[in-house]
Homo-oligomer: A and B are copies of this chain.
Amino acid sequence: MTEISSDVIRGYNDTMILYLLLDQPSYGYEISKQIRELSDGKYVIKETTLYSAFTRMEKNGYITSFSQVAENGKRRTYYRITEAGIQFYHDKCDEWQLTQEVVEKFITH
C-alpha cells in the first residue's frame, strides 16, 4: 500500500497543526487525533514529531502556550496561534499551490 513518507510530508506538519489552531487553542493529543481523522487515517503524526513541532513553532513565534487544568482534572499544555503564525500558515498555503504546479510537471498519471 502506498504510504506517505516523512520526507514528503516534511514541511507540512507545521502547516497542518497551525490549521487546526486557527479556530481555537488546542493541545497535543487533540491535534494528533484531528490529523488522523481529517486525513481519514491516511496520515498519523508521530508524537515526537508533534511535540517537537510545538517547541519549534513557539520558538519561531507562530504559537504561544499556556497550561490549564482540563475538565478531567488533568493539566494540559494548550497552544494558541499568533498573528505571525497565521501569516506563516497563509504563506504555506500559497507555497503549496506553487509546489503542486511544479511537481505536477514531473508526474505521470
Residues of A within 8 A of B (CB): 2-5, 7-12, 15-16, 19-20, 38-39, 42-43, 90-91, 93-96, 98-103, 105-109
Closest partner residue, chain B, to A101 (CB atom): B42
- 8 closest pairs, A vs B, by CB? A7-B11, A8-B11, A19-B106, A16-B106, A2-B94, A39-B102, A38-B105, A93-B107
**How far apart are A46's CB and chain B's nearest CB, in angstroms?**
15
Q: What separation, in Å, do the CA atoms of A12 and B8 have in the docked complex? A: 7
Chain B residues lying within 8 Å of A7, measured Cβ to Cβ, are 10-11
A-B contact pairs, 23 of them (CB 8 A): A2-B91, A2-B94, A2-B98, A4-B95, A4-B102, A5-B95, A7-B10, A8-B10, A8-B12, A8-B96, A8-B99, A9-B99, A9-B103, A15-B106, A16-B103, A19-B107, A20-B106, A38-B105, A39-B105, A42-B102, A93-B107, A96-B107, A100-B100
